[in-house]
Amino acid sequence: MKKIIMTIAVGVMMLTLSSCGKTGNPEETPEETQMDAAGELLDLFINGSIGAVDSADQTSEFYITDLNMDSEEWDSYSVGEKVDLDNDGEEELIINGPYGGKYLDARDNKVYEFAAGGGTALALSYTCYDGAVWIIYSNSMNVGYKCYHMKKYEGADNLVAEMAFGEELVDRDNAESGMKYHLNGTEISYDEYTDLCSKIFGEADIVVWEGEYRNILTGNMIGIPLTSSKFEKIYCLGGICNNSCYINVGETLS
């Protein structure tokens, strides 16, 4: 197999986020003071001084020392960047890890687990779409099936919009039966589906989750529905890319 030369453009997310209207103000305001307080709480979590609680179950708490941090194992965690993921002007903390890791939000003098990956059926990532940041949960458990569930928040405890779309085999028992596509429970055409994906994921040749990307690196194309092994832009969902990013492949996979 030829050596694959690539650059992982994690910065693409920061560039797209800038298009969502996230700009700073040089003067300190009450809102900025609140942002500073939230950032300090997240820093306290990073250094192990406080824990994070589950937004759905506040009796459940974990500390950063409870996570497998900074090891070489596939299921290890590491501290990522701070990004406004819920469109409230305050930055959340990304904990890179398996299936997209965890997103943490600070409010009301506590740190909350805002979102978390939960296996191949619930891989976590985010994107900028229609002028806002959306959280994506992707499901690629089975060959010939991909489903994306997107959520938009205005504050981590205020869900304001959802959408679901995906592709699957016409006949799940026949890999040659062709594909069908859906948006919010309604079947749509291939052109409508690819147009939607281009708006959400950009002009990528293929969208993969982190497990499929690991397979691509080793030349294993099983479960990856390509008509050709030659492509230049991959959009990787979560985890290995420190969340959604593009990978530019310099040579044909063989």
Name which of 65, 62, 37, 41 is nearest 51 in CA terms: 62
> Is residue 75 scored above 70 in pLDDT?
yes
Predicted confidence (pLDDT) per residue in 125-159, tens digit: 888 889 999 999 988 777 778 899 999 999 998 99
Predicted confidence (pLDDT) per residue in 201-252, tens digit: 775 555 555 555 555 555 554 444 443 344 455 555 544 343 444 444 433 3
Predicted confidence (pLDDT) per residue in 155-203, tens digit: 998 999 999 999 999 998 888 888 999 999 999 999 999 889 888 877 5
User: What whole-number distance in Å separates Cα of residue 92 and Cα of residue 9?
Assistant: 21
Take residue 68 and report the two structure tokens written for it: 């497998």
User: What whole-number distance in Å separates Cα of residue 230 and Cα of residue 164?
Assistant: 29
Is residue 21 very low, low, confident or very high in pLDDT (cuts 50, 70, 90)? low
Average pLDDT for 29-55: 84
CA dihedral sign of residues 81, 22, 105, 210: negative
User: Which one is predicted more confidently, 186 or 23?
Assistant: 186
H or E element at residue 199 = helix 190-201
pLDDT value, residue 19 = 52
Name which of 24, 64, 69, 70 is nearest 48 in CA terms: 64
Instruction: Give the number of other Cβ atoms within 10 Å of residue 166's Cβ.
Output: 17
DSSP letter string, 59-123: EEEE-GGGS-BS-SSTT-BEEEEEE--SSSSSPEEEEE-GGG-EEEEEETTEEEEEEE--STTSE
Instruction: Give the number of other Cβ atoms within 10 Å of residue 142's Cβ.
Output: 14
User: What whole-number distance in Å separates Cα of residue 254 and Cα of residue 250?
Assistant: 12
Q: Are strands 57-62 and 52-54 parallel, antiparallel or unpaired?
A: antiparallel
pLDDT value, residue 119 = 82
Backbone torsions φ then ψ of 133, nearest 5 degrees: -90, 135
Specify whether the CB–CB gap between 3 and 251 falls below 8 A.
Answer: yes
DSSP letter string, 40-59: HHHHHHHTTSS-EEETTEEE
Specify whether the CB–CB gap between 121 and 148 falls below 8 A.
Answer: no
Say how far residue 22 (Cα) sits from the centre of its chain: 19
> Is residue 6 scored above 80 in pLDDT?
no
- The model carries a pTM of 0.72
User: What whole-number distance in Å separates Cα of residue 28 and Cα of residue 50?
Assistant: 27
- The distance in angstroms from the start CA to the end CA of the chain is 5
Take residue 29 and report the two structure tokens written for it: 């305001």
